Structure 1
């Protein structure tokens, strides 16, 4: 397992998951969950405190893509060591004129998840999930659980296999 956390089957601990995550996690027997201090949910603090290598952690960012007055939302899964190429790869892939990070209130309202805990598991139906190829290739990756008080551990391949997921060269900077 990754880091110093006590990982257990996520399906057996729904109280550590946001509602939409708990609703679908039973179909993912490989998913593990661990309780954390919610004050340490942000990646750098989390990795330092729990001994999780940053390259074993991924962040989920929600973007709003605009074209012709229409707004669509997508999730981008990038390694903690990089950042999403929102104005390049993401914009072109979504066919948008403009893409920006969704405001916190919108992201939390639309996903029914807590800011700092948003995850691609349990996102609204139809949302594209753009997964960086490095995340998909990670044997075990730590991601959000929908709440700040826990983290999920999944094989990168399981993230890439989520409904609506597409694997792309998405991240800028950091190690790849």
Structure 2
């Protein structure tokens, strides 16, 4: 496992994620448990300094290439009084097309990033650790094809004190995952 993920991991010391549920937010651990065993064991987790959880600081401190980090953002909008949400996963070298691709997919007039306190409350994850693993049931998880094609990417673990390193293809196997052309710009 470690060899396949090492290019993304930089200097992180990875262990199979299922072996360290203490390094994962509860919904993330549950999402990994729901995957086939071989898929879950292809995912690594490592302890990091929580003060370095933000992407740029993390990549610099741990020699992890920015182009092999993927960010997950929570986007929201309303239609007819109904609040709609989506998780969006793009490479850290790009930005999610929130008011184009995402707005059309969740069928709202205007889409925006969810307020961080709301995103934290709804996901059960920490600010700076939100990940596509374990997002609420029913949310679409829009994933840029460049993320899916990456041999490995660094994503949040639901906690600021650790990171997951996973084959990009695993993100396409998560509940609600939708490969979404044009998501990352």
TM above 0.5? yes
Determine the structure 1 residue equivalent to 2:110.
Answer: 98
Aligned length: 172
Determine the structure 2 residue equivalent to 1:84.
Answer: 96
From 47, 51, 61, the equivalent of 2:63 is 51
Moved over 6 A (4+): none
Determine the structure 1 residue equivalent to 2:51.
Answer: 39
Structure 1: runs of 5+ lacking an equivalent: none
What is the root-mean-square deviation in Å for CA atoms of aligned residues? 0.8
Determine the structure 2 residue equivalent to 1:7.
Answer: 14
Q: Would you tell me which structure has more helix in proportion to its own residues? A: 2
Determine the structure 1 residue equivalent to 2:173.
Answer: 161
TM-score, normalization by structure 2 = 0.91
TM-score, normalization by structure 1 = 0.95
User: CA-to-partner distance for each residue in 1:33-52, whole Å, 9 max, x for gaps?
Assistant: 01000000000000000000
Counterpart Cα distance in 1 of 2:171 and 2:31: 13
8 Å Cα contact 2:42/2:166 also seen in 1: yes
Counterpart Cα distance in 2 of 1:66 and 1:10: 36
- Stretch deviating more after TM superposition (161-170 or 143-152): 161-170
Q: Would you tell me which structure has more strand in proportion to its own residues? A: 1
From 163, 168, 182, the equivalent of 1:151 is 163
Counterpart Cα distance in 1 of 2:80 and 2:126: 30
Determine the structure 2 residue equivalent to 1:120.
Answer: 132
Determine the structure 1 residue equivalent to 2:183.
Answer: 170
